[in-house]
Amino acid sequence: MHYYISFGLSLLLGLLVLLGSYVWVKSRTLNHIPGPILARLTPLWLIYYARIGKRYMAVECAHKVYGDMVLISPNHVSICHPEAIKAIYGNGPNALVKSQFYNAFISLKPSVFSVIDSREHTHRRRILSKAFSSTALQSFIPTMKHHVSAFTSKIDSIAARSNTVDLLAFINYLTVDILSDLAFGAPLGFLEQESDLIAIKTSQGRHIEEHFSSMISEREHLAAVLGISSYFRYLSPILFDPFIRRARKSSSSLEQLAYSKVLERFCRGQNKDDILQRLIDSHGTTEHHQLGDRIEILTAETVTLLIAGSDSTANSIAAILHLVLIHPEVHKKLLLCLEDAVGSHKGPIEFKQIANVAYLSATIIEGLRYHSINSIGLPREVSSHGLVILGKYLPPGTEVSVPAWTAHHSNHIWGDPQLFRPERWLESDIQQCFLGFGKGKRACIGKHLAQMQMQLILSTIMLRYDMELESKDLLSSEGFLNRLSELKVFLIVKA
Ligand code: HEM
């Protein structure tokens, strides 16, 4: 009975959204932008594809049919053109702000990632930047090395008892341990326990266990779906969709985990030199919020760091490794370059030995282009001046984005986008069309930390193990990120 009522309500509300959108779109001035008929009428077209994890593919197909500018939702124009990258993500006084899409990513309070107001963002970003300064990055190296060593010990022992390993899972444990150690002064200990199962105390005081990686992927997927329409976001609590219920639970568990870490630090009054302490000190001295507000802001920043700092790095490393393993010529060349820099020993690597291996950096960025962990267009809002792109006028309030996957696979931009060819990054300066770390003032704050981790972890794995993929197919599914399903390899420690 409950099922039928929920289903009926969902249907009715869906129809209302459809009708409302139709009336609304007629009154707007985006009729000159082509796009799939359903997408022109209702956000449900985009919501559907985001929900089934195929948004970037649907948008890619729409661009193939309709050209560089496509209406992918009644108020959202997707633009795949170098000119659009500058116009949408460029800096300067007229820089566009993030759209309402990011409200769906808010945990308790907006974080540096989800905050929309430009002044508030500048303030938050300034505080966090200190934790990612070049001095801070240098101080992170021993922690990274320590956990990479624990990772190789673990993989060695697993390889000794069974030579197939899901490297994605272990790389995930490693990046979470590194990030949690840097952020809270102690790792969550996933490598040690060979699992990402974590005990969480809920807001009702119950103790539950959740898989960290599932919590993140469900939370991000939900936000990427609900962010598409604020109406849909408000209606979501009453919609009958087990995915929404499960993901809401995951979001709240993740919030609780971050909240407990922040609260613990406040109660114990520790004075550690980690990212959380730096945030506490800066927020304490520069803001006049009540204690409750401060804790909520710090929780929001902690959730962002936990998600952004581990998941994207682990998935990127796994995708790059997969691409290297299915391209023997790249594999061979990369190994030669690494052995040149480090020697053929398989022991711990010093970061400075591989920091300047140009072919390694080129392979990493080519992997980020080719697989595009971040595949969707990151939306911004046209300011009160309106915007002219490719000769077409877009009125104030229009959502605009450059679809990262489509841009990274555009023949027009790359010439041979279907080839995995690190050499392209050594031949010419093509950074301006690369969206892997975002662009402009909202670009990734953890870019250098991520690059350091990718360099260290990839070279360690490549120099230490002989590997063969169980399957050459790279299975992934898209939530907010285009995450891999697994990376199973037959692996032995090199002789
Ligand atoms: C390979 C790994 C990574 C990739 C591909 C990546 C990608 C991105 C992208 C594309 C954005 C822009 C998002 C947007 O405009 O909506 C972003 C923002 C952000 N990233 Fe990363 N990221 C990575 C690693 C990290 C790490 C290690 C951290 C921190 C520990 C981090 C923290 C952040 C934060 C805080 C933002 C929001 C910045 C702002 O709005 O000012 N990311 N990242």
Structure tokens at 269: 């009054």
Q: Is the CB of 437 under 6 A from ligand 1?
A: yes
For ligand 1, the distance from its centroid to the CA atom of residue 114, given in whole angstroms, is 11
Collapse the DSSP code of 481 into the 3-class scheme (helix H, G, I; strand E, B; otherwise coil) and give the result. Answer: coil
User: Whose Cα sits closest to atom 41 in ligand 1?
Assistant: 442
Q: From first to last of its 495 residues, what are the pLDDT tens digits of the chain?
A: 555 556 556 666 666 666 566 556 555 689 999 999 999 999 999 999 999 999 999 999 999 999 999 999 999 999 999 999 999 999 887 899 999 999 999 988 999 999 999 999 999 999 899 889 999 999 999 999 999 999 999 999 998 888 789 999 999 999 999 999 998 888 999 999 999 999 998 877 888 999 999 999 999 999 999 999 988 888 888 887 889 999 999 999 999 999 888 888 877 766 677 888 888 887 765 455 677 788 888 899 988 998 888 899 999 999 999 999 999 999 999 999 999 999 876 778 999 999 999 999 999 999 999 999 999 999 999 999 899 999 999 999 999 999 999 999 999 999 999 999 999 999 988 899 999 999 999 999 999 999 999 999 999 999 999 999 999 998 898 999 999 999 999 999 998
* CA atoms of 384 and 96, how far apart (whole Å): 10
For ligand 1, the distance from its centroid to the CA atom of residue 84, given in whole angstroms, is 21
Q: Which residues neighbour 55 within 8 Å (Cβ) at sequence distance 6 or greater?
A: 46, 49, 224, 375, 376, 478
Q: What is the ipTM of this complex?
A: 0.99
For ligand 1, the distance from its centroid to the CA atom of residue 312, given in whole angstroms, is 8
Q: Is the CB of 439 under 6 A from ligand 1?
A: no
Tally of CB atoms within 10 A around 37: 9
Collapse the DSSP code of 37 into the 3-class scheme (helix H, G, I; strand E, B; otherwise coil) and give the result. Answer: helix
* CA atoms of 110 and 116, how far apart (whole Å): 8
User: Whose Cα sits closest to atom 21 in ligand 1?
Assistant: 444
Whether residue 491 contacts residue 159, with contact meaning beta carbons closer than 8 Å, is answered with: yes
- Give the domain 2-493 fold: Cytochrome p450 (1.10.630)
Structure tokens at 204: 């009702």
Ligand 1 probe mutation, 279, 378, 399, 444, most atoms within 8 A of CB: 444
Which residue in this structure is represented by tokens 């499960």? Answer: 246
Whether residue 344 contacts residue 459, with contact meaning beta carbons closer than 8 Å, is answered with: no
The ranges assigned to domains in the chain are 2-493
Whether residue 304 contacts residue 108, with contact meaning beta carbons closer than 8 Å, is answered with: no
Q: 444 labelled as ligand-binding?
A: yes
Stated pTM of the model: 0.92
Distances (CA, A) of 413 to 81, 82, 406, 418: 8, 8, 10, 12
For ligand 1, the distance from its centroid to the CA atom of residue 444, given in whole angstroms, is 4
